[in-house]
Amino acid sequence: MSDYYQNHFQTYHQKTFTIDPSSFLEPLRKHLEPGCTILDIGCGSGRDMLWLKNNSFTVSGFERSAGLADLARQNTGSDVIKGDFEAFDFTTRPIDAILLAGSLVHVPHEKLPQVFGRVTAGLRPGGKVLITLKQGQGTGTDKLGRVFYYWQSNDLEALFKKFGFTVLEFNRQVSKVNDKDVWLGFVLEKNIFKRIRRPR
């Protein structure tokens, strides 16, 4: 699955870079202050990074495919880390907001809680997350050999709550690449827990 993005990064770039991301990025933008820092995890060739940068945010990227990471740097002029989000220590990158636009669609159901906890570990209290995943049941494999894991919104909401996030917005959008796919989009806020002083 991951070999596709390593070996066919130019094809992936050509198919996705010209898509207008405003419809699914706008719900995040309106919850952020200009200039805040955003980490785009699974940034591809930098399409969403460029849109966010053009909307006055300070954006960096994270990408496993070396070819896509190079393209993202070229397309945005921003910092892009080449790494594996299942191994990287995100606590070393304190951040105001995280973008996970389709980034976790290949993560198996049983591994998503662990991965979600890891990639959001550097998010500041009160920070925001935009995450999109495909709606459905079970799994599916496309003609390129990529395995996709499908979700129901209530299952995801329970996961987010477990990790201390509040859902600010939720929407469904038909894919701009394949009209048979429906994307579930969530804007989340990391809860600020106040320490309660116990009487002595």
Q: Is residue 198 a part of any domain in this protein?
A: no
pLDDT digits (tens, 9 = 90+) for 97-108: 999 999 999 999
Q: Which two tokens stand for residue 42?
A: 């699974």
Q: Is residue 62 a part of any domain in this protein?
A: yes
Q: Is residue 20 a part of any domain in this protein?
A: yes
Q: Is residue 115 a part of any domain in this protein?
A: yes
Question: Where residue 8 falls among pLDDT bands split at 50, 70, 90?
Answer: low
171: left (phi over 0), alpha (psi -120 to 50) or beta: beta
pLDDT at residue number 13: 62
Question: Where residue 195 falls among pLDDT bands split at 50, 70, 90?
Answer: very low
CATH code of 91's domain:
3.40.50.150
Q: Which residues contact 21 (CB under 8 A, 6 or more apart)?
A: 47, 48, 51, 101
User: Closest Cα to residue 184, out of 151, 145, 143, 142?
Assistant: 151
Q: Is residue 129 a part of any domain in this protein?
A: yes
Counted domains in the chain: 1
pLDDT at residue number 200: 47
Q: What domain range includes position 41?
A: 2-190
pLDDT digits (tens, 9 = 90+) for 36-48: 999 999 999 999 9
Q: Which residues contact 126 (CB under 8 A, 6 or more apart)?
A: 189, 190, 192
Q: Is residue 147 a part of any domain in this protein?
A: yes
C-alpha 114/C-alpha 183 separation (Å) is 22
User: Closest Cα to residue 92, out of 63, 53, 121, 51?
Assistant: 121
pLDDT digits (tens, 9 = 90+) for 14-61: 777 778 899 989 999 999 998 999 999 999 999 999 999 999 999 999
pTM over 0.75: yes
